């Protein structure tokens, strides 16, 4: 993270005082970002500017599906990244409830990759197995 990004993050943390920071575990860069953010927040805590902050790496596969759903697009029409961020924060609060959002009339649950061979199962059979 460059100096400008660090300054923006420090300002954001000091202004909003988060209890936890969730990072989308999309790639290896997420792990590096967590280390950068951990360093910044440790420095802020050491200086007495904020309390220690927890970090969570969150799987974003559900967030990507939910961000594309029509229901969420009507709630948050701004942009896809905002919808993903909202879904990731909801995963932190109550992950099972966010997964349950996929069980809807659009049958978005089949978009979640539950098994590597899932694409080889007919959609109707997959839905029957998922909904038991």
Are 23 and 58 in contact, with CB atoms under 8 Å apart? yes
Contacts of 89 (CB under 8 A, 6+ apart): 22
Confidence of residue 27 (pLDDT cuts 50, 70, 90): confident
pTM of the model: 0.77
Confidence of residue 1 (pLDDT cuts 50, 70, 90): low
Tokens of 117: 């061979």
Tokens of 132: 């038991």
What sign results for the dihedral spanned by CA atoms 79, 6, 24, 48? negative
Of 6-10, 32-36, 53-57, 100-104, which range is least confident? Answer: 100-104
């Amino acid at each position: 993270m460059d100096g400008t990004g660090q300054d923006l993050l420090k300002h954001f943390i000091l202004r909003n005082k988060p209890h936890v920071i969730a990072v989308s575990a999309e790639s290896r860069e997420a792990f590096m970002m967590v280390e950068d953010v951990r360093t910044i927040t440790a420095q802020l805590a050491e200086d007495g500017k904020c309390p220690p902050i927890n970090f969570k790496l969150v799987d974003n596969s559900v967030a990507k599906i939910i961000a594309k759903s029509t229901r969420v697009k009507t709630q948050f029409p701004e942009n896809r990244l905002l919808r993903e961020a909202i879904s990731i924060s909801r995963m932190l609060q109550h992950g099972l409830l966010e997964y349950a959002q996929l069980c809807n009339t659009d049958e978005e649950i089949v978009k979640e990759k539950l098994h590597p061979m899932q694409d080889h199962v007919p959609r109707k059979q997959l839905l029957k197995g998922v909904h038991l």
